[in-house]
Chains A and B, each alone.
Chain A
């Protein structure tokens, strides 16, 4: 530490800190225009100049490091004069239209002109006016207002890594431009809006928010994004019951101010005229729907479900809840299914995405969840990204991967059949044939064990079954692995050596690992890699699934699964069964229920009579939708709770309109197990009700009174029944939330799992043989088809397609075909 005097005040600072940082720490304000805490200093705007005793000239405090004994004056007459002159120079090239500029009220130039009492400029404008760029629906660029601070250029480069913007025509005519001044959409822009978020003036604006309201007219509500499992924190700007803008807090995890195009610009879907606002019923699905009252709809659902339970037994019913719903809703859905309907036929949409993660990670480590936090990615030395097109599917997590590589020198190993964007950042790209994951990872394990690169101490102390694993992976030498996977043997060897050579190796994976017949085997194989190298239980290590939907983690944690209550307490464990039976005041079934695909099978066989589906659209999103739709058509009674008339709702007998995430209180749990609060920002549409209220009302009408004053009370019940949630309540979740397990009310949460011991005791090395996919290309169907995520759209599109901005940018889908495949035809 060095000590220096700032305005006569003694300040201690680290030698690596700048004068600006030291002053900020001491509570001394220095004005800036080109400075942003996440960006490298550029010293361009000269607003932060200070006088340093003995220095030749004024010093830019944002870029100058502190030194021992330095004497700094931040407000001397020389400094103030320089700042005023600087403002005059900037103002001479800035249009005087604060009266109608949307930035008014949060414009840094405006407030500095006020602070320094600069009313006009002695200088004459030199640059001719240019036409604002209005060519895209998200970002409005008016270069007449640009003060050339360069923050947009730096954030596009350093944070988003997109390099869409740069300084061009340097000199008197300097401007911020794309290459060849092309419109943003043709210049590689991904519309993350980072540039807008840092622009100090009105040069870059969120276009959908323009002319909608002044900053001081809006209420700021913090909540959680629902467009993927990263679970970014959002700030909603609300005016007169409408969300008019979305921003994010630079200091809030996991995204620290970053958002993607969906989070920032995908906020208009909720006011689509397609929103359902009245309950609708019909006797059979050939008839048209009839609008009705809530009383009649709830009464009908209760009557029908009781009737089916009485005549066809408890096993004729199943419930599917949503990974987009809150924890509280998912908890109530499974409570309803088990306590009121008396069956464990409970599942959620994670079945077809990350259920193999739960199974695989529980088998290996004892806990079906990510081991580390998303922030850990940035500090990893080696990253394996497998089966995850992260830049498209989890854009904000991808920023952390890019930062690890570009700024911290991490080595990236990409396992993917396609040349995804991250391949540009990769040290090794293992381009495997689709479906050969287990063989490839066995090949990596082979190299590590064969070359003696494994962490012997860790294997000895903390794992079991190494001998069997050795035997199995001995069958996968690089030559054979190359034959199966198509990955050159030298790349397999290289990747294995890189990963085994670090104690900060982190595995991140996505649906490319899990959406296979043997998806859980892929997950267990990755766990093997982490276990034999000892890369678990410490910061910047572990094995981390990137969850698809916002609350995949939470919906599973809440027991919306056929075999477990909250946090994976088994329904067939007598102690757990007793605990929940007593708490819920009724006997509960002990037999694990049906998984989602089994439900469709039962329905097709005529044994299943009723389903209750909450915020899930399997008739549009399942791989075999014809099968799903046929199954639903066979049901006597289908209840759907939805925002829109989805494909599934079209097959229902009763459709109940509910709220979207802007209209809800509750919690989501993101991919790093962070339980975070949603805060209701706008009222429900007239006529809709909250999901949790609807479930309570149906249960009550069926003779099982359920009543809560607020979702917080539901969380209190969850905490009472779930050791991992024991320390969680809504008050404690205020702010950035808590990462489970939270064992008691004082516990700070657990960002890293398995530190000293695994949840299951010893880590299990599962010896797994590679089994080829069930259907491989043949003469009749000679091509592989794999699906992928798209940055601009989310899941069934029911929300993202209803955002005019996003729809304009991306309104078509396409298939990519290898030219060789076309020629071959």
Chain B
């Protein structure tokens, strides 16, 4: 999924735009309402929304770059920086908090050696606490991508990472 993103010496990414163009080609006569589906597919394809891809969208859809930037910065589902292959969401809602979410967060920070909202150097994980994932019966809980891991302890959480 992320092979097309290679980080060069300067730390910026060389983006292979072929996937972006393939996505855009599906929207031959696009309207402004196509923007969000296009962005979602680009986010899926690259794991984030590369700057150069936004320029391609502008060229393809005639939607001004400034407007697209406005949309991308509004929705939390879009990221302008490369994200990890997997996203870890630790629930910090009331039930999880009482059941020890703080310990889990601390452990994950140590294990991954990154802060909240950051991505590991190998681009494997992006780690972000969230307000609630809506599964209090599993508290304390975290999600990795679309999968739930419930009734956690700090050690179980750390061990789960090894599955990825």
Contact = CB atoms under 8 A, between A and B. Distances in A.
A169 interface: yes
Nearest to B80: A180
B66 interface: yes
A119 interface: no
A179 B69 contact: yes
For the side of the interface on A, what is the size category? Answer: 10 to 19
Contacts of A178: 66, 69
Interface in A738-761: none
A245 B133 CA distance: 56
B164 interface: no
A166 B66 contact: yes
Interface in B92-138: none
Nearest to B75: A170
Contacts of A171: 74
B38 interface: no
Contacts of B70: 166-168, 170, 177
A177 B67 contact: no
A385 to B, nearest CB: 19
A348 interface: no
Nearest to B63: A163
Interface string A412-425: 00000000000010
A339 interface: no
Given A157-B64, A179-B54, A180-B51, A166 B74 contact: no
Contacts of A164: 66
A187 B66 contact: yes
A177 B69 contact: yes
B15 interface: no
Given A179-B54, A180-B51, A163 B73 contact: no
Contact of B66 (A169, A170, A179, A424): A179
A799 to B, nearest CB: 32
Interface string A395-429: 00000000000000000000000000000100000
B68 interface: yes
A179 B54 CA distance: 10
B51 A166 contact: no
Contacts of A424: 62
Contacts of B74: 168-171
Nearest to B54: A179
A149 interface: no
A163 B68 CA distance: 11
Contact of B68 (A165, A169, A179, A187): A179
Contacts of A169: 73-74
B65 interface: yes
A157 B70 CA distance: 14
Nearest to A181: B69
Interface of B: 51, 54, 62, 64-70, 73-74, 80
Given A164-B66, A166-B69, 6 more contacts: A166-B67, A168-B66, A170-B73, A171-B74, A178-B69, A179-B69
26 contacts: A163-B64, A163-B65, A163-B67, A166-B66, A166-B67, A167-B70, A168-B70, A168-B73, A168-B74, A170-B70, A170-B73, A171-B74, A177-B66, A177-B69, A177-B70, A178-B66, A179-B54, A179-B64, A179-B65, A179-B66, A180-B51, A180-B69, A180-B80, A187-B66, A188-B65, A424-B62
Q: Considering the complex of A and B, which 6 residue pairs feature the smallest CB-CB distances, nearest first?
A: A163-B64, A166-B66, A179-B65, A179-B69, A166-B70, A170-B74
